[in-house]
């Protein structure tokens, strides 16, 4: 059994999900949560808090692979740059630990999970509810994205650490 991490970075929050594979497309949720850096005074302090909290999670769960949302466009350049910088912190930590990382755009993730790159968010949440045997839809959207990223990365991982 292996542990797979899904990460959905934002400007002041990073949603994460850790799944443990059970083989044959089955997975169990170990943890879903958020790292919130909104209380930090500067961008540098936000990145430091993000890195410290992420290191703690990586030490606790020791994932074999990770799925990270790829920034594919941004209508607001300032927001896009902040998200890209947060992604950089996380990708650096994963690379430093040698954790294989697969990146997905939202449409690639929806296509992999639902068979349709333009699937509405609710369709993705319903698919996760069924796949992961959840009693209710995973919410908020960012948590569902982190779960989807972990699940799809586990299916895609070529190191033998995945769900498949």
Active site positions, annotated? 8, 69, 142
Left (φ > 0), alpha (ψ -120 to 50) or beta: where does 115 sit? left
Residue with tokens 């333009």: 118
In contact, 102 and 157? CB cutoff 8 Å: yes
Gap between the Cα atoms of 153 and 127, Å rounded? 15
In contact, 45 and 28? CB cutoff 8 Å: no
Sign of the CA dihedral running 32, 5, 142, 108: negative
| Residue (of 158, 63, 146, 143) closest to 104 by Cα position | 146
Gap between the Cα atoms of 109 and 20, Å rounded? 19
């Amino acid at each position: 059994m292996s542990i797979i991490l899904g990460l959905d970075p934002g400007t002041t929050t990073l949603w994460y999900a850790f799944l443990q594979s059970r083989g044959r497309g089955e997975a169990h949720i170990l943890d879903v949560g958020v790292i919130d850096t909104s209380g930090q005074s500067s961008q540098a302090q936000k990145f430091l808090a993000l890195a410290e909290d992420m290191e703690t999670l990586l030490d606790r769960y020791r994932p074999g692979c990770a799925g990270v949302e790829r920034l594919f466009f941004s209508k607001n350049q300032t927001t896009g740059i902040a998200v890209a910088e947060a992604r950089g912190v996380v990708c650096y930590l994963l690379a430093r630990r040698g954790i294989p990382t697969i990146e997905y755009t939202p449409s690639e993730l929806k296509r992999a999970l639902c068979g349709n790159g333009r699937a509405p968010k609710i369709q993705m949440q319903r698919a996760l509810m069924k796949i992961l045997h959840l009693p209710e839809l995973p919410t908020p959207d960012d948590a569902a994205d982190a779960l989807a990223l972990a699940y799809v990365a586990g299916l895609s991982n070529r190191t033998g650490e995945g769900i498949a």
